[in-house]
């Protein structure tokens, strides 16, 4: 099954479930990020999930850690769906509107599927899936700015697919001033997913 067919199938399933097909719904990558963060976080008070989508990951972290979890997403439909789950959700581009030095942890499952550069942005679901030509369209600006919003000792949990160039992402994180620890990994027929825990050097 191609990526396009896989996403068509997801959209059809979302519609049957009565879920907005313009919002990314929890999948294997969501579960991996939530589990890794919950297992690794140590008494966080304030957590941000960038690109929260449906708010499912934020909801899990909120329930299991007792932290106040805020979600952000460029997609207004995603913000509405996360709010319906009881998550504080703000329409935002990555971490741009947030104050310096406030979050104990930032979680991000970025859009990472490499996409033909001639493709047009057709809808919100494409925004949620496409990582641009190299799969790192949002990873690069995220890594450049995320340290700004971290509290002292704060951590970043970043999901990385083998499709985006794992070694390149690790190098970018190190260049941004982070120590990198691969804390979780799962392999699938078409990719390997990893959760990188980033801490300031």
pLDDT of the residue at 2: 45
Q: d(Cα 168, Cα 174) in Å, to the nearest integer? A: 10
The DSSP-derived string for 56-96 is HHHHHHHHHH--EEEEEES-HHHHHHHHHTT-EEEE-STTT
Please write the tens of the pLDDT for every residue from 87-103: 999 999 999 999 999 99
- pLDDT of the residue at 120: 63
Angle CA 23–168–70, to nearest 5 = 35
Domain coordinates in residue numbering, the chain: 26-66+81-200
Residues 6+ apart with CB under 8 A from 129: 3, 7, 24, 111, 113
Cβ-proximal residues to 16 (8 Å cutoff; 6+ apart), any chain? none
How far is C-alpha 26 from the chain's CA centre? Answer: 11
> 72 forms bridges with which residues in the sheet?
50, 90
In sequence order, the β-bridge partners of residue 199 are: 155, 179
Closest CA to 87 of 102, 117, 107: 107
What integer pLDDT is reported at residue 122 of this predicted model? 65
Distance CA 48, CA 95 (A): 9
Low-confidence ranges of the chain (pLDDT < 70): 1-19, 119-122
What local confidence, expressed as pLDDT, does residue 121 receive?
A: 60
pLDDT given at position 29: 95
Domain 26-66+81-200 has CATH 3.40.50.150: yes
- pLDDT for 113 equals 86
pLDDT value, residue 19: 63
Give 189-198 pLDDT, tens digit per residue. Answer: 999 999 999 9
pLDDT for the residue numbered 124: 84
pLDDT value of position 21? 80
């Amino acid at each position: 099954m191609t990526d396009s067919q896989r996403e068509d199938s997801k959209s059809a399933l979302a519609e049957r479930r009565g879920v907005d097909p313009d919002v990314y719904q929890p999948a294997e990558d969501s579960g991996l990020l939530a589990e890794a963060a919950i297992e690794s976080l140590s008494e966080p008070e304030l957590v941000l999930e960038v690109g929260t989508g449906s708010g499912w990951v934020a909801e899990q972290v909120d329930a299991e850690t007792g932290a106040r979890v805020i979600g952000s997403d460029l997609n207004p439909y995603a913000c509405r769906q996360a709010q319906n789950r009881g998550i504080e959700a703000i329409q935002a581009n990555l971490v741009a509107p947030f104050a310096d030095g406030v979050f104990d942890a930032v979680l991000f499952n970025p859009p990472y599927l490499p996409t033909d550069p001639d493709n047009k942005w057709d809808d919100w679901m494409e925004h949620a899936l496409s990582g641009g030509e190299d799969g790192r369209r949002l990873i690069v600006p995220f890594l450049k700015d995320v340290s700004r919003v971290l509290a002292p000792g704060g951590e970043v949990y970043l999901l990385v697919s083998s499709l985006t160039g794992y070694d390149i992402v690790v190098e970018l994180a190190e260049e941004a001033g982070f120590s990198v620890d691969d804390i979780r990994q799962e392999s699938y027929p078409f990719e390997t997913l990893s959760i990188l825990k980033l801490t300031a050097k």
